[in-house]
């Protein structure tokens, strides 16, 4: 994957070029249909997702929409880095194109991507406080 697809994401905007290249080398593209659950609360966190196209709703355990995610947003970092479990359900409102960073790939590059890990942790901690 070309690093330019990732560079426009807010989370990746300040990453060094070498880390963007590491990230681009392991990211995969995922197509999601409208209405599909991308992640489900309490499931094991196995990936972080970057929204390239489309929109999704973040739902509380009670099913209430609390936030809308769209192009440029990232989600899934809490389950992957902080708790091991998903803290919300994310349902695609429209067809979506996501870029996915799996736990296995993140583990493989984390030693070469300290700024990426810091950015993901910062995002996760900020969200967990809400």
For each of the domains in the chain, give its residue range(s) and CATH number, in order of start: 4-129 (2.60.120.10)
Distance CA 127, CA 130 (A): 5
Residue 99 has a pLDDT of: 96
HSE (side-chain half, CA atoms, 13 Å) at 95: 1
Is the distance from CB of 35 to CB of 91 less than 8 angstroms? yes
Distance CA 46, CA 79 (A): 7
Residue 84 has a pLDDT of: 67
Residue 45 has a pLDDT of: 74
Q: Which residues contact 78 (CB under 8 A, 6 or more apart)?
A: 45, 86, 87, 124, 127, 128
Q: What is the pLDDT along the chain (130 residues), one digit of tens a residue?
A: 888 888 888 888 888 999 999 999 999 999 999 999 998 777 767 889 999 999 999 998 788 899 999 999 988 877 676 666 667 889 999 999 999 999 899 889 888 888 888 888 888 878 777 7
Model confidence, pTM: 0.88
Residue 97 has a pLDDT of: 97
Is the distance from CB of 74 to CB of 116 less than 8 angstroms? no
Q: Which pair of structure tokens corresponds to residue 79?
A: 């389950």
Q: Phi first, then psi: what are they for 68, rounded to 5°?
A: -115, 130
Name residue 86's beta-bridge partners: none
């Amino acid at each position: 994957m070309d690093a330019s697809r990732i560079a426009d994401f807010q989370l990746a905007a300040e990453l060094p070029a070498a880390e963007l290249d590491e990230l681009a080398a392991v990211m995969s593209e995922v197509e999601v249909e409208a209405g599909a659950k991308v992640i489900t609360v309490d499931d094991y966190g196995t990936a972080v997702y970057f929204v390239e196209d489309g929109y999704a709703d973040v739902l509380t355990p009670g099913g209430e929409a609390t936030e809308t995610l769209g192009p440029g947003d990232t989600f899934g970092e809490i389950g992957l880095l902080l708790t091991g479990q998903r803290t919300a359900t994310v349902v695609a409102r429209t067809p979506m194109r996501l870029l996915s960073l799996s736990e296995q790939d993140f583990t493989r590059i984390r030693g070469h991507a300290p700024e990426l890990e810091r950015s993901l942790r910062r995002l996760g901690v900020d969200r967990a406080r809400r």
